[in-house]
Structure 1
């Protein structure tokens, strides 16, 4: 597999430091196949942008499964996969998580685990939910 990595306009060196008790930061997905940077969307709510992803050789590095044909040529790296959250205590809920593997969006909530080095990311279809635990990447 080939690991694709992109340097955003704000590189890790110049990215703002966030408190360890914040959902903001760089997170390694539960499967260990990519990282997602969670930062402020510009309106005080968190957004998650895919920063790295393992793309198997020969597979497209674009959002080929997107339901919108106009978006199928957009790169996976840099894709917003978490957004639309509302804060409720120590939890962000009523957001959405986009899964580029199937091109679908799901209801989502995120919150820090008891261990602030772990982000609980929940995605739901109706009442069926799955929670992943993402690990904070020290920068």
Structure 2
């Protein structure tokens, strides 16, 4: 009888400790890594600079245009950035970790050249919810990104 109780208590203690150490939602650096975007056409590398988080485009399924040249950020409203390659472009910027999400950041959509408010939230260690919006978060769209590494 005592063996069963001891086994049960040991198991519960182990699960509590394992959960505490494995809870990525409380780890500010849990989003650092490379993510596949919702369309499967791009990889975004999220990194930390100072106390903020950023993401740059590091891979495209179709990196070149019809002429075989690297795709550029042609829809960027900033004229000096229109000729810059898309690969290497920073599309996530200025995120700060707060409780269980990364917020106060911006996301840039190179397909339309627009910049949106954004927050990021881990669903689990391999799934990132990315919510871009205009004004209030109700007016936006959520994408699901998948961790590559």
Q: What TM-score comes out, normalization by structure 2 length?
A: 0.73
Q: CA RMSD in A?
A: 1.8
The one of 20, 23, 31 equivalent to 2:39 is 31
- Higher RCO by CA contacts (8 Å cutoff, separation 6 or greater): 1
Corresponding residue SS for 2:132: strand
Structure 1 runs (4+) deviating above 4 angstroms are none
Task: Give 1:86 deviation, angstroms.
Answer: 2.3
Structure 2: how far apart are the matches of 1:54 and 1:68? 25
Task: Give 1:132 deviation, angstroms.
Answer: 0.5
More helix by share: 2
Question: What residue in structure 1 maps to residue 103 of structure 2?
Answer: 93
Q: Does 1:125 align with 2:134?
A: yes
> Which segments of 5 or more consecutive residues in structure 2 lack a partner in the other structure?
1-21, 25-29
Corresponding residue SS for 1:84: strand
Q: What TM-score comes out, normalization by structure 1 length?
A: 0.78
> Which segments of 5 or more consecutive residues in structure 1 lack a partner in the other structure?
1-18
Answer whether contact 2:51 2:96 (CA < 8 A) is retained.
no
